[in-house]
A and B are shown apart, each in its own frame.
Chain A
């Protein structure tokens, strides 16, 4: 077996191939943001948690202390340039999301407005990370709680 050192030209090829592989691996597909208005409450026989929240079930139960989470309004928006806006609505509430662009290649700068009919209850500006869901505790409704969720899928 030959043990001659790698010539620079071939080492360069190896470097380029590695960088290309890394570049391809990090190439991002179009991402989708799921926005939901979720009612949390305690019931004797809770319905299964919606698929969008499955991976957050433990966290939500621990945070809010409820055993049932039901989606009352939702929106799934594909982001192409990160400058889109969308609305997730239920009968009385609407969550308006205005995306102002991608920051640092890994998060979206969002302006969120929660309306109760036409009344603005809450406004938030956030950098939504692709790996970190956003949970907002809304108003108390009956014996439950309105929870807002934003998740990059």
Chain B
């Protein structure tokens, strides 16, 4: 049991909460019991007056404020914990996703490469082979010359084969 201070004992006495030995001790500690009784009465009156004037008002829209407070609490709790969207964004570039993305890129590259690099054919011959548009010799210089054109499949070589040009002596092979 605690020892009450004078103020605590005074308040308890005013409120009528002291009894027995405690009450006797408190009264004995008072310098003037009649003055104290007057103060007690005034304090009692003041307490009654305050209770009359400033009563606890019942809130007309208490549920609304309660709802508002609950919503605010939920918002704060949600902002404190990590957002599901952020979590999803962080986990998108996981190892599995990277593997799939890499595989998809390689597949696309292969498809594009196939379409770009595949051999085109024009009129039954490869567009990537050298084509001879025209070949001619001067009939006045080489009246017996004739020209044939063919392709060597090896190395994809295009050959212009000229027959009948005038033969020349070996000194024409000089550098």
Give chain A's interface residues, CB within 8 Å of chain B. Answer: 1-3, 6, 10-11, 14-15, 17-19, 21-22, 25-26, 39, 41, 55-56, 58-59, 62-63, 72-73, 90-93, 104, 106-107, 109, 116, 119-144, 146
Q: What are 7 pairs between A and B in contact, CB < 8 Å?
A: A59-B157, A124-B134, A125-B132, A132-B126, A132-B128, A132-B129, A136-B160
Ranked nearest first, the 8 interchain pairs of A and B with the lowest CB-CB distance are A142-B170, A139-B165, A1-B96, A140-B167, A91-B174, A18-B108, A132-B130, A125-B133
Cβ–Cβ contact B168 & A116, under 8 A: yes
Cβ–Cβ contact A140 & B158, under 8 A: no
CB proximity of A5 to chain B, nearest CB, Å: 10
| Extra contacts besides A123-B134, A141-B170 (9): CB < 8 Å | A22-B109, A125-B135, A126-B131, A129-B128, A131-B156, A134-B157, A142-B170, A144-B170, A146-B173
CB proximity of B115 to chain A, nearest CB, Å: 10
Cβ–Cβ contact A137 & B154, under 8 A: no
Cβ–Cβ contact A59 & B112, under 8 A: no
Cβ–Cβ contact B157 & A133, under 8 A: yes
Choose among B95, B126, B158 the residue with the greatest number of A CB atoms under 10 Å from its CB. B158
Cβ–Cβ contact B155 & A55, under 8 A: yes
**Complex alpha-carbon distance, A106 and B117, angstroms:** 11
**Complex alpha-carbon distance, A68 and B91, angstroms:** 67
**Complex alpha-carbon distance, A72 and B159, angstroms:** 20
CB proximity of B131 to chain A, nearest CB, Å: 4
**Complex alpha-carbon distance, A92 and B170, angstroms:** 11
Binds A, one of B23-31, B62-70, B97-105: B97-105
B70-122 CB contacts (< 8 Å) to partner A: 91-92, 94-97, 100-101, 104-105, 108-109, 112-113, 116
